[in-house]
Amino acid sequence: MFKFVVAEPQDLEEVMGLIRRYAIDPEKVYLMPEGTSEASLRAKMAWLVEVCKQHGFHFTSRLHILIYGNKRGV
């Protein structure tokens, strides 16, 4: 399993380069939006989910941020 944290669309260039370079199976790729607030995560989730669907990647959220906010130890 390969997990990549994505902050902006330009980050995908690096991710895609690594996937090509190391011949990583798309089924083993998980993309997660970077963010510490619900608003920033939701904004990034909107386009990142579409990228995952387009390339056959998995999407994972930062569920703890959506539920508890930016708190440590939860």
Measured at the alpha carbon of residue 71, what is the angle toward residues 39 and 60, in degrees to the nearest 5? 55
pLDDT < 70: residue spans in the chain: none
* Structure confidence at residue 25 (pLDDT): 97
> Which residue is it, tokens 């703890």?
64
* Structure confidence at residue 71 (pLDDT): 85
* Structure confidence at residue 3 (pLDDT): 96
Coil, strand or helix at 34: coil
Q: Which two tokens stand for residue 2?
A: 């390969």
